[in-house]
Structure 1
């Protein structure tokens, strides 16, 4: 671990936004799944959520992710409706990308609030049931012949609007994670091979030096 590498890790963690996330409902194409995670990393999402496709588990990460899967944790859920309700119970507003009578332009919403963007599978989109329990349905205005964007492009469009609003509100200027969470994540990101050993032994992570060095 070099001082430069540890400084990069610390700087990125200081910008993480635990109150911003996505829920991918049965997104089954690895390149799209990976591309969404790459955007999540770019805007500071700490943890993403996903409902695995009915046939098979979560898509395998591919080169499209740019190794984002190392930096964005993915929490799996059994189904979209229960996942939405769980996120809402945790204080998140859930915005479903879905065309309905109550849909609004995605730019009209307040993304400085704790927010989850619900994204549907490429072929079927968000289900009516999941969209129905979401706090709002959002759309990206389209002026061409096609009716929707690729799911990863839609995710990027919406998440960078969230980033824009949060930047304007100063939410990237101070860490959104507690000091305890920052210390834990610094160790796990800096020493991914050692962290599981401490967890298996039930031991606390050692305190790292200013440059990320392990105690002697």
Structure 2
């Protein structure tokens, strides 16, 4: 970890906005979701929430430009549970939806804790989610087309959220909760160790936030080997060889 790389990682974390979020409502084109993730990273959004279509989703790495790694994605079973969870945590719900009560996206307050809800390419935001939203926002259209691509609309609206928050000084101090900040700092500084631990359900090793390096990688790895040996012993005890049990 070079000092320059560590400084860039910390600078990005310092500008992340934990209370500005995006929620996608069953967007079915992977390239659109990937582009939305990329916009989230670009405009300082730390968390994206999603209700996936039935066929599932896998981000296109070329479209995300690696940004899927820098934005935490939370999956919800349906829109009402997602909105309920986010509203309970104090977020206003802004749905990008053309309706009789829709207002210009620049006329809502993005400095408050809020969630931008984006609908799918065919039907837009689902009716139940639209009814539950605090505000409907639209990007004024001056041409012949009636709507923008959902990922383009996301980028335009998040740019306004960034402008409002920048004017309010919300990017000048770190706003991430310390526990979340330190967790992401480790994951971003040590991606290979993170994958190793996550795949094997291991706790992260001691970490020096001033250097981005492990405190004592050798002893930690020795401890990991011992943990894995104990797990193997327990597995062997819980599921003995059938031949040994029956005497065959």
Q: TM-score range by the shorter chain?
A: over 0.9
- After superposition, the Cα gap between the structure-2 partners of 1:192 and 1:62, relative to the gap in structure 1 and judged at 3 Å, is closer
- Aligned residue for 2:156, secondary structure, equals helix
Further displaced range: 58-67 or 164-173: 58-67
Matches within 5 A, 1:184-195: 184-195=183-194
Go from structure 1 to structure 2 and tell me whether the alpha carbon gap of 1:107 and 1:174 turns closer, same or farther (over 3 Å shift).
same
Alignment of 1:113-132 (within 5 A): 113-132=112-131
SS of the residue corresponding to residue 53 of structure 2 reads coil
Q: 1:161 to 1:140 in 2, by over 3 A?
A: same
Return the alpha-carbon distance in structure 1 between the equivalents of residues 175 and 136 of structure 2: 27
2:142 corresponds to which residue?
A: 143
Give the C-alpha shift of residue 205 in structure 1: 4.0
Which runs of no fewer than 5 residues in structure 1 stay unpaired? none
**SS at 1:50 equivalent:** strand
What is the CA–CA distance in structure 1 between the aligned matches of 2:80 and 2:201, rounded to whole Å? 36
The equivalent residue for 2:133 is: 134
| CA drift at 1:78 | 1.1
Match of 2:65 in 1: 66
How many Å apart are 1:77 and its aligned residue?
1.0
Q: Deviations over 1:107-126 (max 9, x none)?
A: 11000001110001111111
What does residue 11 of structure 2 align with?
Answer: 11
Structure-2 separation of matches of 1:97 and 1:130 = 11
1:111-153 deviation per Cα after TM superposition (whole angstroms, max 9, x unaligned): 0001110001111111121100011111111121111100000
Q: What are the Cα deviations for residues 158-206 of structure 1, in whole angstroms up to 9, with x where unaligned? A: 0000000000000000000133322221111111222355565654541
**Maintained 8 Å contact 1:184/1:205:** no
SS at match of 2:192: coil
Match of 1:215 in 2: 215
| Structure 1 residue 62, shift from structure 2 partner | 3.2
Deviations along 1:56-76, whole A, 9 cap, x unmatched?
A: 112433311110100001111
CA distance in 1, matches of 2:174, 2:60: 29
Q: Following the alignment from structure 1 to structure 2, what is the Cα–Cα distance between the partners of residues 196 and 62?
A: 17
Q: Name the structure 1 match of 2:243.
A: none
Within 1, Cα distance between the matches of 2:203 and 2:98? 49
Query: Does the CA contact (< 8 Å) of 1:34 and 1:64 recur in 2?
Result: yes
> What is the root-mean-square deviation in Å for CA atoms of aligned residues?
1.6
Partner SS for 2:122: coil
Summarize the alignment of residues 22-101 of structure 1 with structure 2, pairs less than 5 Å apart. 22-54=22-54, 56-101=55-100
SS in 2 for 1:18: strand
Q: By how many angstroms is 1:209 displaced?
A: 4.9
**Greater CA drift, 149-158 or 94-103:** 94-103
User: How far apart in 2 are the matches of 1:127 and 1:214?
Assistant: 46
TM-score of the pair, normalised by structure 1: 0.93
Following TM superposition, where does structure 1 have runs of at least 4 consecutive aligned residues deviating by more than 3 angstroms? 196-205
